[in-house]
Amino acid sequence: MPLSEQEQRLLEEMERNLYRNDADFVHAVGGVRGRRPDYRAIVLGILLAVAGVGALIAGVALQLLIVGIVGFALMFAGVLLAITPSKRGAAAPAPSEPTVSKSRRSGGGFMDRLNDRWDRRQDGHG
């Protein structure tokens, strides 16, 4: 079921507030939308993991411990390479929002009023 226009506006407002108030959290969680996966790293990671599985099986079949260990290390590195997000497109600017004074903002939406109340509590005014 799609969101109504009011729900979409509320969701966009919450997202803007999140970007404005907690940019470090957004950066850590990876809240940047539209980032494409690095297919080259995924394919290379899968190939490396398959080679690692082959080396692991060969090490067990030949009873060579070092070949099994190297195979496991290759497999582990391949999986890490495939699932780790790329750093190329990681830094995208947060959505821009015009600066609004606090007094004008206080008459705004529900989330703005809650944020203002929270700020006043944190400052010890109420």
Judge whether 76 and 102 are in contact, CB under 8 Å.
no
Q: How far is CA 24 from CA 34, 35, 91, in A?
A: 19, 18, 12
| Percent of all residues in the chain with a pLDDT value above 70, rounded to a whole number | 71
Mean pLDDT of 100-115: 63
| DSSP state, residue 88 | T
pTM for the whole thing?
0.45
Supply angle C-alpha 78, 84, 86, rounded to 5.
115
Rounded mean pLDDT, 24-50 = 77
- Mean per-residue pLDDT for 37-42? 85
- Burial letters 67-105, b for 16+ CB under 10 A, else e: bbebbeebbeebeebbeeeeeeeeeeeeeeeeeeeeeee
Residue 123 to residue 125: CA distance in whole angstroms = 6
Residue spans of the domains in the chain: they are 5-110
* Rg of the chain in Å (alpha carbons): 24
Residue type, position 118, single letter = W
Residue 56: count other Cβ atoms within 10 Å of its Cβ.
19
pLDDT band of residue 55 (cuts 50, 70, 90) is very high
Burial class (CB in 10 A: 0-12, 13-18, 19+), 116: middle
